[in-house]
Amino acid sequence: MFAKRQSVLAATAGAPPEKATLRDRLSVVGRFVRKPPVAVSLAGVLLIGAAALFVTVLGDPRAGAPSARVALKRNAETHAAAPIPTGLEAFTMGAGGLYADLSTDGDPALNGEAILTLPDGAVVSGEGAAVTAPRVAARPLTVAPIAGLHQAGPDGPLPRIAPDGRVPAQAYARPFVSDGRPRIALVVGGLGLNAATTRAAIERLPAEVTLSFVPYAEGLQGWIDLARAQGHEVMIEIPMEPTGYPSTDPGPYTLLASSEPAEIQARMNWLLSRATGYFGVTNYLGDRFAGSEAGMSSFMATLRSKGIAFLDDGSMSRKPGAWSRASANRIIDEEQSAAAIVGQLNALEALAKARGQSFGTGFSYPVTVEAVARWTAGLDARGIQLAPASAITQRPGR
């Protein structure tokens, strides 16, 4: 095979090259162009060339259309940090979606205006309604800390019973005098993490509504001071182990059912030293911790020794202890709609008329704050006295 190839090359080595005809050259080009990839590429090139030729000959087809140029300049003032809105600004009816719609009626004649029908039949809206919920007048409490009611702890100031017998559960509570009518106490919690909702709760809710703060809130003492300056007594929320922990985690320093008393004491020291000025504490979650007799006993003993009240959300009503105690009858906003919340508030009212008093708790959802602010405005006319939560606590054995 190799020998035959060599003889052919030798025979043609000295011969002049054959001159290819034009037809032969074009046939080679034709075969090349007919290859699919080449054909597609050439078609694209021809299309672009045709478009360029069209613009060159006829001009820009948009040349006759009107145009304008605007010089944009960043205004430094408009990009400055926006101030925290007041409670009225954050929760006004025209706030444009900052909170859940309070509408309980889909009547299109209301043009989307959120409304709320109160138990006395009054219809509340943001446009000239008979009942509104603006910022209420301040009714300040004593500035915290009060001398003798705190001591230095490993993580900050801790509450204590004063040498003269005064206790935080009484000294930091809002004063209350019963007028003999049925009374209702309300706690709104989860405060301190969201500035707008916290401020709205402080400014728009009556002073008798007790406010509960998250221990991890930045600037917690400032929020408590602001709440007390407006007239609200306050509580601190204690994270407790729930079922499903740690998948459901209440946060750092959660009280665990498996912890030894010394560990519970250490965690309580951290939680109770976040601020001063609270009369009591409440639970955040904690159904699993509540099942620990040793854990609950240690927790209650700590509160009792420091003169602190414990008010729970109703899940720990059979757990005695602390300096004074109360358990909620209802959580008012497990369903987050105005109609459902008002329904729960009405149930509390009926219970108060039947038993003399009732106690409800809720979270600081915007719809909760708005509903409570408006609903409480008509309590006095309906023969109910609004009371701070401290007023319905009871001492052990009483």
pTM across the whole model: 0.71
Which residues are CB-contacts of 104 (< 8 A; sequence separation ≥ 6)?
Answer: 115, 116, 117, 337, 338, 339, 342
pLDDT (0 to 100) of residue 56? 53
Taking only the tens place, the pLDDT of each residue in 306-340 is 999 999 999 998 888 899 999 999 999 999 999 99
Angle at the Cα of 43 from the Cα atoms of 38 and 45, rounded to 5 degrees: 95
The mean pLDDT of the chain is 80
pLDDT (0 to 100) of residue 318? 82
Largest CA distance in the chain: 132
Taking only the tens place, the pLDDT of each residue in 261-308 is 999 999 999 999 999 999 999 999 999 999 999 999 999 999 999 999
Name the least confident of 100-104, 143-147, 389-393. 100-104
Taking only the tens place, the pLDDT of each residue in 167-210 is 999 999 999 999 999 999 999 999 999 999 999 999 999 999 99
Which residues are CB-contacts of 121 (< 8 A; sequence separation ≥ 6)?
Answer: none
pLDDT (0 to 100) of residue 82? 46
Q: Taking 70 as the threshold, does the pLDDT of residue 354 lie above it?
A: yes
pLDDT (0 to 100) of residue 237? 98
In 214-257, which ranges are continuous DSSP H helix? 220-230
pLDDT (0 to 100) of residue 340? 96
Q: Taking 50 as the threshold, does the pLDDT of residue 122 lie above it?
A: no
pLDDT (0 to 100) of residue 134? 74
C-alpha 224/C-alpha 221 separation (Å) is 5
Taking only the tens place, the pLDDT of each residue in 46-99 is 667 666 655 454 454 444 444 444 444 545 444 444 454 444 444 433 333 333
Taking only the tens place, the pLDDT of each residue in 242-267 is 999 999 999 999 999 999 999 999 99
Could you tell me the domains of the chain?
A: 149-392 (3.20.20.370)
Q: Taking 50 as the threshold, does the pLDDT of residue 160 lie above it?
A: yes
In this predicted model, which residue has the larger pLDDT, 293 or 101? 293
